[in-house]
Structure 1
Amino acid sequence: MLDDFLMRAGLAGIGLTFATGPLGSFVVWRRMAYFGDATAHAAILGVALSFGFGLSIYVGTLAVALAMAVTVAILSGRGHALDTLLGVLAHAALAFGLVAASFISGLRVDLSAYLFGDILAVSRADVGIIWAGSALVALLLAWRWQGLLTATVNEELAQASGLNPRAEQLVLTLALALTVAVAIKIVGALLISALLILPAAAARQLARGPEVMAFGATAVGSLSVLAGLAASLRWDAPAGPSIVAAAAVLFAVSLLARRRS
């Protein structure tokens, strides 16, 4: 059954939501949407470098995503305006990635697959990597859950409790970089942030607590994957954008449900 491309796509997408659900909740709580965008856009540079040096896509993407995240953390700590810094780094990394790809002789890969995703082309090895990466992100967040929550709610309270808010921020940075690396084949660099934010935002409308919201975001994300794949198959639409569109519809439904409750 796993040889069927649609089954592989469904398993890959659902596996990814175990990372994007809880991580997306923190992205929403901490208003890190633009940070996620910058890290995802930088992933295209990682794709280009992977082809140039003959590396695995996941290795190159993770390395560049981590470098971007650490760079942002260092520069923002020195007083630079965060929104301007993210905008500069995100678009510069995306541009350099596309330019670098144009200089790689013999490159026959359509980079649009990495911009918008190609979940229907994932292999069995990809499914294993995605599930392993998502499990690692989920375990990392579960390990630091209480500390991350405390630092998110109030940094001064976190410091009074013996926590280091910057260390907790580093945990989220690492988790985000790893998620971007495993998500790039599914929804692509331009849509990763949407898959992080939309399910979490939908779950937030009805959630009664942080843990419920994290589980709810995972459920909404999984439903978005299945609905998006079904829509892609039915109307011959691109799968990655269809998944994000399904998540947007579920977010709109959650808004209506909240108004009626």
Structure 2
Amino acid sequence: MLDDFMTRAALAGVGVALAAAPLGSFVVWRRMAYFGDATAHAAILGVALSLALQMSIFAGSVAVALAMGLLVTVLTGRGYAMDTLLGVLAHSALAFGLVAVSFLSGIRIDLMAYLFGDILAVSRGDLAVIWGGAALVVGLIGWRWSALLTSTISSELAYASGIDPKREQLVLTLSLAITVAVAIKVVGVLLIAAMLIIPAAAARPLSRTPEQMALTAAAIGSASAVIGLQSAYALDTPAGPSIVCVAALVFLGTSILQSARS
């Protein structure tokens, strides 16, 4: 079954959707969209360093994305507005990553594949990394679910409950770094934030509880991956962007439904 490239692509898309769904819900609740974008853009620098040092692209991407997340956390509240800080770091990391790639002599690299994904070229090894990373993210978020929800609602409530909000922020940062690393092959660094945010935002009007929102986001993300792949195959369009387009249409539909109810 895994010899069929479309089957591998669909499994990869679903794996990324399952990892992004619960994490994307927290990104939406905490209004961390720019944070996710900055972490994703940093991943291209991780790719360049991985190729230069002849190490795993997954490991390099996780390391740099995690470093970006920690840097943002440390610098927040030190004289810069959050959106300004994230804008500077996100675009700087992407620029330095692209420049670093240009210095890699003797190594051929398809930048478009890393920027926009190449889900149709996913191998069995890639699937193992994607699903392993997804299982790690889901397990980590599930383990800290209650504490993450409490610290999301209120830092003061978290402290009163014996929960350290900074520790929970670190859990989210680590989960985000892993998700970015496994999603590079599927949708690329420029569209990772879309897969984090859009399914969760589309699920919000359909959900009454946080758990229901995370599950609905997973379903929307998985369906978007499969339908987007089928549409890309039928219409001869780029697979990664097609997946995001389907998710965006679902978001439009749930937004219209919410407007009709109110």
TM-score by length of structure 2 reads 0.98
1:1-261 matched pairs, under 5 angstroms: 1-261=1-261
Shift of 1:79: 4.4
Summarize deviations over 1:43-91 as a string: whole Å, max 9, x none: 0001111111111111111111011111111111534321111111111
Q: How many pairs were matched up?
A: 261
Partners of 1:211 and 1:190 lie apart in 2 by: 28
Shift of 1:174: 0.6
Partners of 2:195 and 2:11 lie apart in 1 by: 16
The CA RMSD measured in Å over matched residues stands at 0.9
Q: Percent identity?
A: 64
Partners of 1:78 and 1:145 lie apart in 2 by: 29
Summarize deviations over 1:94-132 as a string: whole Å, max 9, x none: 001101111110221111110000000010010011001
Partners of 1:72 and 1:128 lie apart in 2 by: 30
Which amino acid is 1:83 matched to?
A: D
Shift of 1:257: 2.2
Partners of 2:78 and 2:260 lie apart in 1 by: 46
Aligned partners of 1:48 and 1:100 also within 8 Å? yes
SS at match of 2:7: helix
Shift of 1:259: 3.0
Once structures 1 and 2 are overlaid, which stretch shifts more, 225-234 or 71-80?
71-80
Aligned partners of 1:101 and 1:107 also within 8 Å? no
Alpha-carbon spacing, 1:148–1:79, altered in 2? closer, same or farther (3 Å)? farther
TM-score by length of structure 1 reads 0.98
Partners of 1:134 and 1:95 lie apart in 2 by: 28
Which amino acid is 1:162 matched to?
A: G
Which amino acid is 1:148 matched to?
A: L
Shift of 1:134: 0.5
Which amino acid is 1:207 matched to?
A: S
SS at match of 1:132: helix
Partners of 2:55 and 2:239 lie apart in 1 by: 26
Once structures 1 and 2 are overlaid, which stretch shifts more, 132-141 or 101-110?
101-110
- List runs of 5+ in structure 1 lacking aligned partners: none
Shift of 1:232: 0.6
